A and B are shown apart, each in its own frame.
Chain A
Amino acid sequence: MTGKSLRQKDARTGVTPKPLSKAAVGNPGLDQILLGGLPRGRTTLFSGGPGCGKSLLALEFVLRGAEAGEPGIFVPFEERAEAVRANALTLGWDLEALERERRLFILDTHIDHETLVSGSFDFKGLLAIIEGVARDIGSKRLALDAIDVLLRFLGDPGREREQLFALSDWLLDRAMTSVLTVKRSADQDGTSRYEFLDYLADCVIHLDQRVTDQVTTRRLRVLKYRGSDYGRNEYPFVTAAGGLRIIPVSSAELRHKELGGPVSSGQADLDEVLGGGYLRASCAMIAGASGTGKTTLTSTFARAAAARGEKVLLISFEESIEAICGTMLSSGIDLRPGLEAGMIRPLTTMPEAMGVEQHLLRILDAIDEFGPEHMIVDAVSATNRMGSGQSAFEFLVRLVNSCRERGITMIFANQTFEESRPLEIAGQQISSLVDTIVHLRYVESGGETNRVLAIIKSRGRQHSNQIREFRITDRGVELARIYTGEGEVLTGAARQEKEVRDAIQLRRIEALIEAKRREIEHRAAESKAEAARRMAAVTQAEIELREMEMEWNKARESQDARVRLRAGEADSSLVPPPDQVEN
């Protein structure tokens, strides 16, 4: 409490603020949200309902500290030390090794026998033990897990509060970086019994577990952090091997790499339509109904990238890699060399197999391990089956942000339906995520159904607005010139007919252009001649003018001479010399 008022006073008096010292939790995601870690030497509260992961996070805080040279004490009030060790092992954390090295101390608070209460008491015993152990192992961190269980023993909210204030003061004096965890349970009046804990702690992190659309999501949110800024969103997380995995996402906070240079789509005509190809580190979406050739286009890209020696992570939610390989082979696109060379890494999974967080984690792990230049997701529309539309959207936002940060080119196939727009995934507008949209669809003309391709959007690039006919042959993909007259798109036989008609028309226009060009040349020549004529006239007039002037001067000279002769000898100095007059 005093810490807060002191800091505020500093701000008012304009004293240069000293940056808050932080203790890294050791969980990269959480440290990112906390802009470095928890307030060093101060108390942080993790609150939340049962099973939301607060104990685990508190343990991780102590464990990572111990690993990094800050010994710590973990005091579980709800679990036996044995259970804590066993649970930790399932996450791959070996607490006993650290305990043996006296870097970690788990204080077992469990009592087998009966306890009776007679009269008032306090927790001096606990504090004395912590203090003694802290001295022995040089502890810098402390976590009191399920402090509510300890407090409940007091049986009276007034005394709970009193004891907590005492504990808080004690912690502040010890200058250990501490974490308290507390179960939140709303009383009848809707307020939490331990709400006052929020005021005691310098940093408060709330965790919760929600079930929406039959999918359980755990989330974490920082409620306050005295003297520091922090990520203000709700961050989903999962418990996986290695601990809590939090992937912070907020496009505003993340610093993306600039879009890179063009990268070939694997098809020269498509590259031309795209204005050079896709852009590195950008997100391109190939949208279209079933069978329009989305996978053919993504595979064309994958094959070409692999052939250039660039790694492609191929995430398939629809088909096995064997099935994709077989289908593509019939279109003349051989993915096998890329797969065999390890340049194409398939990652196939059913969207329903796990929750959004696990999916994301699995993909990010694959990215970190494989280090691909490009990533294909076929099809992003399947993410909708991971849970609600909202969770699919969040999944994509976070996936795109993570890939952008790593400079990975993303090619998404998106299955659209008759009535839906290409930008939508189950009603979710994702246009802001996508830099380029290639739309594939069927058109009917002249009794045929053909595929067409259009670039709907290409962020920051010159691209063709034209619609092209898109053909899948046994030699891969071909794009054909298209005709857009009165909004009509012609394909197939109708297109060929039009081609002939247009060839004639074209020649006619070419002739007209040639004629016009010659006309312009003639007119230019005429104009030049006219100008020359006029220039000559001006020159002639100038010559004439000079002759007239000379004549006038001579006449004047002879007149002056006559005057002098008549008046006898006059002052010759008044008469300018003849050459001066001439000039």
Chain B
Amino acid sequence: MSNPAQPDPSPKYRMVLFVADHEPNSREARRNIQGLCREHLKSAVCDVEVVDVLNDYRKALEHRVLITPTLLVLSPSPTVRIVGNLADSELVLSAMRARSGS
């Protein structure tokens, strides 16, 4: 957080967050990705779909999501997979920046 540099203003992020109901890590991940988009990716378009694996196992199967929470950043490509409650926002941000061509 010491370096809150803004990513390129143009990119559009398409993400899927796989959660397991209201399990603590899943709640945490939801909160973290919302905060991230709101605070650090203001200029970007953040499209986050949340999938509850307990309700939709087929979607999890399709993306081979064994771990919850899992954040899939589908675009810009290549896809990046980040597992965990996304507590390390710096890691998440740098991974996304690396894919936004900056």
Chain A residues in the interface with B (C-beta under 8 A): 107-111, 113-126, 128-129, 131-133, 150, 153
Contact = CB atoms under 8 A, between A and B. Distances in A.
Contacts of A118: 82-89, 91-92
A125 B53 contact: yes
Interface of B: 18, 20, 23, 25-26, 28-29, 32, 53-54, 57-58, 60-61, 64-70, 78-89, 91-92, 95
Contacts of A108: 64
Nearest to B84: A119
8 contacts: A115-B83, A116-B80, A121-B25, A121-B70, A123-B67, A124-B26, A128-B20, A132-B61
Contact of B60 (A116, A120, A129): A129
B85 A120 contact: yes
B85 A125 contact: no
B68 to A, nearest CB: 4
A512 to B, nearest CB: 100
Given A113-B78, A121-B25, A126 B66 contact: yes
A135 to B, nearest CB: 9
Nearest to B68: A124
Given A113-B81, A132-B57, A133-B57, A125 B88 contact: no
Given A113-B78, A118-B85, A125 B91 contact: no
Given A117-B84, A118-B87, A118-B92, A125 B60 contact: yes
Contacts of B61: 107, 129, 132-133
Nearest to B82: A116
Contacts of B79: 113
Closest 9 interchain pairs by CB?
A: A132-B57, A124-B20, A119-B87, A119-B84, A119-B85, A126-B66, A128-B53, A124-B68, A118-B88
Given A118-B88, A119-B84, A121-B85, A153 B67 contact: yes
A116 B66 contact: no
Given A110-B64, A114-B78, A119-B85, 18 more contacts: A107-B61, A113-B80, A114-B81, A117-B84, A118-B82, A118-B83, A120-B87, A121-B68, A121-B69, A121-B70, A121-B83, A123-B68, A124-B20, A125-B65, A128-B53, A132-B61, A133-B57, A150-B66
Given A115-B83, A116-B82, A132 B25 contact: no
A129 B57 contact: yes
Q: Indicate the member of A109, A117, A121, A125 with the most B CB atoms within 10 Å.
A: A125
A153 B66 CA distance: 11
B66 to A, nearest CB: 4
A477 B98 CA distance: 90
Contacts of B60: 125, 128-129
B67 to A, nearest CB: 5
Contacts of A117: 82-84
A114 B73 CA distance: 11
Greatest chain B CB density within 10 A among A108, A117, A120, A121 is at A121
A308 B5 CA distance: 97
B62 to A, nearest CB: 10
Most chain A beta-carbon neighbours within 10 Å: one of B57, B64, B79: B57
A109 B64 contact: yes
A520 to B, nearest CB: 101
A126 B67 contact: yes
A123 B58 CA distance: 16
Given A125-B20, A125-B70, A116 B81 contact: yes
A159 B65 CA distance: 19
